[in-house]
Every structure is written in structure tokens, then in C-alpha cells.
């Protein structure tokens, strides 16, 4: 390293040092918001991630059983010591009324375990002491099965992949290998696929309908363009719930759209429009259109009109002038608008809940059901993790291609 | 009028079709919003047009119902608290991030914007589970915290946009003339960026006032907001009183929209 290089480095370091107070004071202004978001936004999401793998039930309810299971060979039914520990744990569980909690947790992996655990807890309470092995097996052959015990031992871990696997239609067999779930229980990949499909469809429709609007906005006389812009921005400003309400009303069987169709003799009987895929996609397209139009418009506005004229005067036909000169330049706006709409469409909850049928419910709706109705927080959180990962992947793509500072409002 | 003189007939036809399509799409955008207005003034409890007889009965029903009134009150309180918090935090952050020597600006900006991106259900469920640990679910505090997180990106974006056109020499001049930093901020910087701050505040207010999903998870009957009340109403059995509520929300949106438009125009001037 020459002396000049060292001088350069020293100067560079000195400049950075000199700039440090300014950097620090600039950063300190953003600090309150960053700290607030850490608590009120990032922490809840991290908590959701932990909930997706948390596994407290078996550890808390069966501490003695898990200790006794430590030196079980895993091949045959465990010995009396384990059953005695289980009986002891279930007695305590019965007193604390935590047996149902354990039953519910084990039931996720082996169906029928809930009633078996509750029956065993009742049996233990009434029984006047051991040996317990026989008494448990009398209740059900499953208590002698190594598979049951393997699952109990596995669920003794602090964290479980169970919920995340379930959210991807996978499960862990008692021997630990991961396999695909088939039949009635394999619903979540279907839901995820449906969410992606609906989001894709909505993105495509907003692009097809929005592109001409953005274009006409750039060529219309100023006064007319102002009114047109108003018609794009006003829906954006209206609450999502109000817009969804409007569609609920429009799509009713005795609603306005059916009236118009009947009046025009386009159909002879009332069509089922609400609670259908058609209704969901239509309402979502309506709600998302401004998000696609605005970025395309702001890019189109910057393309000089003279370019198309130049292309034409140099001999390009109308279609090749459009496709080879104009369209490629609008691509950044198309990408920004479509990615934005796709990202937002993935998270739709209100509109599918009110306008869609059972087959149109998206990942968000299932998350809500598992929180509110089934009280299965682990599965709700895992579905949330899947949705979050997909969304963030597309957000990263957006940041790379477009940039966060390009997000504008109106 | 919008075509060059050398346009071919087919090009003229195509252009006309594109304009017609755009007009149709604009009608598709705007018409559904205004369908609810006449329905809310209808005397009949059906959702068909034309309205046979007008009346104010659904509005009487709305304003006479304690549940709707509580819901409006709850929404207003949450929205005002959210607006104050989000505007303060967001404006400060925007001031910092707009300085030329802000470190890792792209990364911080991506983080600050992310509440707009993360699916709302995830924010709702995360808040429900996390704030539940501190007894903040079914409280107004919990709702305001979650709504503020959702509203701050709007303030950051509007104030940052405003600051990009603000001449920082004005602040420097004030400082060099001996103004203390706080005086320079409140008497020089803030008045100049006020339109941006007020726009951000309007966005923050609307974000909280219109928000359904987080409110659905974070509130019980006593804190129930107007959108939650509407949502459960539509879910059970949609009735015309909901049309009255929706019309009032629409009117509020239009008022806020024009307030914002006026601010933007003043800024442009």
C-alpha cells in the first residue's frame, strides 16, 4: 500500500467521522417511529412466527411422563413406570382442567386422542392406584401402541413443525418422516393456489381495463383529464367496506345487475352472482383498479408524444409504433402497478368474506376461521407465515424492480 | 381532436374504441359507489332501482340506534388518537429521512412502508395474539397502537414528498440568523411543509376510520367501530340502515378527498 492510498483512506475516514454527528441526528429523528413500529408492528409479527411453532401443551401437562419416556426404546409398549407417570400427570391435569388442552393438541396428530385423554383422566381420578398399564390398555388398545407414544414423546419438544407442515398439506409420520397429506385433509395448498390464482386474475383484469384508462388520461384535454382523474381517485378514497357493500347490493339475486340483465333480455332467469367466484373477482377488480392505473399513468405521462409521431414519420405502422416504441417504455409502470395490485390482492379478507362463496375464501379468511372458530392458533399463525413469506417475496421483487420511494399517493 | 392528421381510418376507429373502453371502465369505477346513495333514501327495504318513494326512515333508524351511535363515537376517538400519534411520529421520521446524510435510507424506507404491504390479516392476528399478552385486546389503546402502525406510512410518504420540494436553505437561513432549532422548525420549516403534514394527517384519519379487519380482532362490543358494526350487519342480514351508514361514510370520504385536493392545489401553486 502506497502512502497516497493510506492518505486517501485517512481522508475518507475523516470525512465519515465528520459526517457522523449529522448522520446521527438525522437518524435520531426517525428513531421514535422505528421504535414504535418495532413494538406495535414488528413484535406482533414476530410473535405470530413464534406462535406458528410453539408447542407448550404436552410439555406443560405431561412433565413426568416425558421424563419417564426418555429411556423408552420406541419399539414396543413402554413399561409400567411410564403409565404410572402418565396417571400422575393426568391427575394433576384433571385438577387444573388442562386435560382437554392436551387432548386437543394430541388430537391434531392422532384423531380420537381427545376423547381417549379425557377418558383416561376420568379413569385415573376414579382408580385407587396402580398398576396402571393394564387399566390404560383396557380403555383402548391405542395406549399400548408405540405410535401413540412416539407422538407423545415428539410433542414434548418446545417447538413443533406440525402446524407449518399442516399449512403446506404435509405431516410427520410417527417414525419422523415427512409425507404428503391426501384426501379431505389436504386443503391448504388448494387455498393457497386459489389465493394466488384469484390475485393473478384480478391483476390481469386491472391491467387490461386500466391500461387504456391510463392512456386516455394522458391524451385527453386537460379539463376532461381532470374529471377522469377524479373518477379514478374517488373510489380509491372510499372505504373498502363501502365499495364491498356496494357490490353486495349490486350482486343480490333481486339486485340491480340481475334487473338490468332481465330488462335487456340477456337472461331469462335470475343469475346467482353473489357468493360466486365471478362476484369476488369483479368486486376485487373494481377495488384494485386505481392501484394499477396510477403507476401506469405516471409513467405514460413522462413519455413525450413526439416519439410516437417520430416513429410514424420514420415509416412505422400504427401497431409497430405502439408495440415497439410506446409499450416498452410503459413497462416500469405496468410492473409497479401489477406488483402492487398482486401484493394487495393476496391479503384480501373483507371482500371474499362478504361477496365470495365457500369455494372463494382466501388464505386470510382461513386464518380468521382458525383464530375465531377453531381456536387453533398454531395453524392460524402458520397459514399467516405462509401468506407473509409469499407476500414478502413479491415485495422484495417490487423493491428491486421499482423501489419503496416510488410509492406515491394519488 | 386527439389524432394526428396522417392517421389511417382503422387507427381512428381503434382510437375511438380505446376511448370508449376507458369511459366504460371509468363508469364501472364510479357507478357502484353512487348506487348506495339512492337506496339509502328509499322507503322500501329492497335493493332495487328506481326508487319508488323517498324517505329518511333508514337515517332515523341509524341516528336513533344506540349501537350505531356508540360505533361512530368509538371510530372517531380511535381515528383522532391515531391521527395525532401517526402524524407526529411520521413527520419526525420524514424530516430525518429527507436529510442528505441519512444512513441506509432505502432499507429504512422499505421498513417504514412495510405496514402498507403486509397482509392486513397478519397484522390483525399478530396484534391480537401479541397485545393479548398485555391485556390490550378489547381495549381502545390496543386498537390505536395497531391503527397507528398502519397509518404511519401514509404520513411518511406525504411529508417526504413535500420535503423533496422544500428549500432547506430557508431553515439554514433561520438558524444562521440566530433562531434556536425549535423556533426554526416551528416558525420556518413546519409552516412550509404544512400541506404535506395535513395531507398525511387526513390519510391517517381515513386509514383508522375505515379500517375493518384489525378492529374486528381487537375490539369487543364496547369498543366496536363503525366499519365493524357494518361488517357484522352485512354478514348477518344486509338491511337498508347499512346503506345509510355507507352513504355517510361515502360523504365523509368525499369531504376528505376534496380537502386533500385543495391542499394539493395550494401546494402546486
Cα B147 to Cα B189: distance, rounded to the nearest angstrom: 28
B219 within some domain: yes
Instruction: Name chain A contacts of B156, Cβ cutoff 8 Å.
Output: 33
B52 within some domain: no
Q: What is the ipTM metric for this complex? A: 0.90
Query: Does any CB of chain B come closer than 8 Å to the CB of residue A128?
Result: no
Instruction: Give the pLDDT score at A354.
Output: 93
* Structural domain harbouring B103: 65-268
Closest residue of chain B to A51, computed from CA coordinates: B129
Query: Does any CB of chain B come closer than 8 Å to the CB of residue A30?
Result: yes
CB count within 10 Å of CB A366 equals 23
User: What are the DSSP calls for B16-85, one per residue?
Assistant: HHHHHHHHHHHHHHHHHHHHHHHHHTBSSSS--SS-SSB--HHHHHHHH-HHHHHHHHHHHHHHHHHHHH
Q: Is residue B15 over pLDDT 90?
A: no
- CA angle, A302 as apex, A296 and A308 as ends, to 5°? 95
Instruction: Name chain A contacts of B92, Cβ cutoff 8 Å.
Output: 29-30, 32-33
Q: B158 and B199 in contact (C-beta within 8 Å)?
A: yes
B93 within some domain: yes
Instruction: Give the pLDDT score at A231.
Output: 92
Cα A187 to Cα A270: distance, rounded to the nearest angstrom: 32
Instruction: Give the pLDDT score at B62.
Output: 92
Query: Does any CB of chain B come closer than 8 Å to the CB of residue A210?
Result: yes
Percentage of chain B surpassing pLDDT 70?
96
Q: What average pLDDT does range A368-372 have in this prediction?
A: 90
Q: What is the pTM of this model?
A: 0.89
Q: Is residue B126 over pLDDT 90?
A: yes
Residue A279 corresponds to which cell in the numbers above?
362476484
Instruction: Give the pLDDT score at B266.
Output: 66
Percentage of chain B surpassing pLDDT 90?
60
Instruction: Give the pLDDT score at A175.
Output: 74
**Portion 151-170 of B in contact with A at CB < 8 A:** 152, 154, 156-158, 160-161
Query: Does any CB of chain A come closer than 8 Å to the CB of residue B217?
Result: yes
Cα B73 to Cα B64: distance, rounded to the nearest angstrom: 14
Q: What is the mean pLDDT of chain B?
A: 89
Which pLDDT tens digit goes with each residue over A109-156? 888 889 999 999 888 888 877 788 888 888 888 898 888 898 899 888
Instruction: Name chain B contacts of A220, Cβ cutoff 8 Å.
Output: 2
Please count the structural domains in chain B. Answer: 1
Q: What average pLDDT does range A345-363 have in this prediction?
A: 93
**B227–A249 C-beta distance less than 8 A:** no
Prior bond to A239 cis, omega within 30? no
B9 within some domain: no
> What DSSP character marks residue A171?
E
B1 within some domain: no
Which pLDDT tens digit goes with each residue over B177-195? 999 989 999 999 999 999 8
**B242–A40 C-beta distance less than 8 A:** no
Which pLDDT tens digit goes with each residue over B203-226? 999 999 999 999 999 998 888 999
Name A135's Cβ contacts closer than 8 Å, sequence gap at least 6. A123, A127
Nearest to B29 among A289, A367, A404 (CB): A289
Instruction: Name chain B contacts of A410, Cβ cutoff 8 Å.
Output: 260, 264
Give the range among A195-199, B111-115, B142-146 with minimum mean pLDDT. Answer: B111-115
B89 within some domain: yes
Query: Does any CB of chain A come closer than 8 Å to the CB of residue B44?
Result: no
Most confident of A13-17, A385-389, B106-110: A385-389
B197 within some domain: yes
Q: Is residue A282 over pLDDT 60?
A: yes
**E strands, A213-359, in order:** none
Q: A52 and B109 in contact (C-beta within 8 Å)?
A: no
**E strands, A70-134, in order:** none
Q: Is residue B269 over pLDDT 60?
A: no
Residue B12 corresponds to which cell in the numbers above?
381512428
How many contacts, defined by CB atoms under 8 Å, are there between A and B?
Answer: 282
Instruction: Give the pLDDT score at A186.
Output: 83
Cα A290 to Cα A217: distance, rounded to the nearest angstrom: 13
Residue A358 corresponds to which cell in the numbers above?
365457500
Query: Does any CB of chain B come closer than 8 Å to the CB of residue A245?
Result: yes
Q: Which of B72, B256, B46 is nearest to A236 (CA)?
A: B256
Query: Does any CB of chain B come closer than 8 Å to the CB of residue A36?
Result: yes
Residue B82, domain CATH = 1.10.3720.10
Which pLDDT tens digit goes with each residue over B36-52? 898 889 888 777 778 78
Amino acid at each position: 500500500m502506497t502512502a497516497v492510498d493510506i492518505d486517501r483512506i485517512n481522508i475518507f475516514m475523516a470525512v465519515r467521522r465528520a459526517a457522523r454527528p449529522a448522520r446521527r441526528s438525522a437518524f435520531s429523528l426517525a428513531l421514535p417511529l422505528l421504535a414504535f413500529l418495532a413494538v406495535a408492528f414488528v413484535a406482533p409479527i414476530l410473535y405470530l412466527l413464534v406462535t406458528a411453532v410453539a408447542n407448550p401443551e404436552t410439555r406443560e401437562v405431561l412433565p413426568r411422563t416425558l421424563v419417564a419416556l426418555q429411556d423408552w426404546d420406541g419399539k414396543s409398549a413402554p413399561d409400567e413406570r411410564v403409565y404410572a407417570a402418565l396417571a400422575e400427570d393426568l391427575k394433576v391435569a384433571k385438577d387444573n382442567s388442562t386435560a382437554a388442552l392436551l387432548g386437543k393438541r394430541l388430537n391434531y396428530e392422532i384423531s380420537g386422542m381427545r376423547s381417549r385423554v379425557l377418558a383416561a383422566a376420568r379413569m385415573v381420578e376414579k382408580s385407587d392406584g396402580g398398576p396402571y398399564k393394564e387399566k390404560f390398555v383396557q380403555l383402548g388398545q391405542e395406549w399400548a401402541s408405540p405410535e401413540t407414544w412416539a407422538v407423545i414423546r415428539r410433542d414434548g419438544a418446545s417447538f413443533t413443525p406440525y402446524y407449518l407442515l399442516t399449512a403446506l398439506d404435509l405431516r410427520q409420520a410417527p417414525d419422523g418422516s415427512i409425507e404428503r397429506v391426501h384426501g379431505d385433509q389436504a386443503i391448504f395448498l388448494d387455498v393457497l393456489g386459489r389465493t394466488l390464482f384469484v390475485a393473478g386474475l384480478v391483476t390481469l383484469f386491472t391491467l387490461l381495463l386500466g391500461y387504456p384508462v391510463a392512456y386516455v388520461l394522458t391524451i385527453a384535454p386537460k379539463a376532461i383529464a381532470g374529471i377522469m382523474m377524479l373518477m379514478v381517485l374517488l373510489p380509491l378514497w372510499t372505504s373498502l367496506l363501502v365499495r364491498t357493500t356496494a357490490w353486495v347490493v349490486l350482486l343480490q339475486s333481486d339486485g340491480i345487475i340481475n334487473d338490468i340483465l332481465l330488462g335487456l333480455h340477456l337472461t331469462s332467469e335470475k343469475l346467482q352472482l353473489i357468493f360466486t367466484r365471478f362476484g369476488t373477482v369483479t368486486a376485487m377488480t373494481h377495488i384494485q383498479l386505481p392501484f394499477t392505473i396510477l403507476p401506469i399513468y405516471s409513467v405514460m405521462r413522462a413519455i413525450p408524444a413526439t416519439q410516437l409521431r417520430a416513429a410514424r414519420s420514420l415509416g412505422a405502422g400504427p401497431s409497430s409504433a405502439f408495440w415497439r416504441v410506446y409499450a416498452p417504455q410503459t413497462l416500469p409502470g405496468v410492473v409497479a402497478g401489477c406488483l402492487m395490485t398482486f401484493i394487495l390482492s393476496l391479503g384480501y379478507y373483507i371482500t371474499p368474506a362478504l361477496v365470495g362463496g365457500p369455494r372463494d375464501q382466501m388464505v386470510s379468511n382461513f386464518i380468521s376461521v382458525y383464530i375465531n372458530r377453531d381456536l387453533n392458533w398454531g395453524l392460524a399463525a402458520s397459514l399467516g407465515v405462509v401468506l407473509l413469506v409469499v407476500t414478502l417475496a413479491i415485495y422484495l421483487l417490487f423493491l428491486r424492480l421499482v423501489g419503496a420511494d416510488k410509492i406515491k399517493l394519488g | 381532436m386527439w389524432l394526428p392528421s396522417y392517421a389511417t381510418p382503422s387507427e381512428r376507429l381503434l382510437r375511438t374504441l380505446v376511448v370508449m373502453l376507458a369511459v366504460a371502465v371509468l363508469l364501472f369505477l364510479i357507478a357502484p359507489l353512487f348506487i348506495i346513495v339512492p337506496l339509502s333514501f328509499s322507503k322500501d327495504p329492497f335493493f332495487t332501482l328506481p326508487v319508488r318513494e323517498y324517505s329518511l326512515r333508514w337515517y332515523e333508524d341509524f341516528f336513533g340506534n344506540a349501537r350505531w351511535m356508540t360505533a361512530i363515537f368509538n371510530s372517531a376517538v380511535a381515528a383522532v388518537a391515531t391521527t395525532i400519534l401517526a402524524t407526529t411520529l411520521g413527520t419526525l421520521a420524514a424530516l430525518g429521512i429527507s436529510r442528505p446524510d441519512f444512513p441506509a435510507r432505502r432499507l429504512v424506507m422499505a421498513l417504514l412502508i412495510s405496514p402498507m404491504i403486509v397482509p392486513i390479516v397478519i397484522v390483525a392476528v399478530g396484534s391480537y395474539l401479541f397485545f393479548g399478552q398485555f391485556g390490550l385486546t378489547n381495549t381502545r389503546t390496543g386498537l390505536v397502537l395497531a391503527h397507528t402502525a398502519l397509518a404511519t406510512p401514509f404520513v411518511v410518504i406525504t411529508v417526504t414528498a413535500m420535503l423533496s420540494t422544500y428549500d432547506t436553505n430557508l431553515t439554514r437561513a433561520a438558524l444562521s440568523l440566530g433562531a434556536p432549532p425549535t423556533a426554526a422548525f416551528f416558525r420556518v420549516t413546519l409552516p412550509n411543509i404544512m400541506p404535506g403534514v395535513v395531507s398525511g394527517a387526513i390519510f391517517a384519519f381515513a386509514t383508522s376510520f375505515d379500517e375493518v379487519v384489525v378492529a374486528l380482532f381487537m375490539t369487543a362490543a364496547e369498543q366496536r367501530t363503525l366499519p365493524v358494526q357494518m361488517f357484522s350487519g352485512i354478514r348477518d342480514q344486509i338491511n337498508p340502515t347499512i346503506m345509510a351508514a355507507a352513504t355517510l361514510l361515502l360523504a365523509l370520504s368525499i369531504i376528505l378527498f376534496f380537502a386533500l385536493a385543495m391542499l394539493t392545489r395550494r401546494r402546486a401553486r
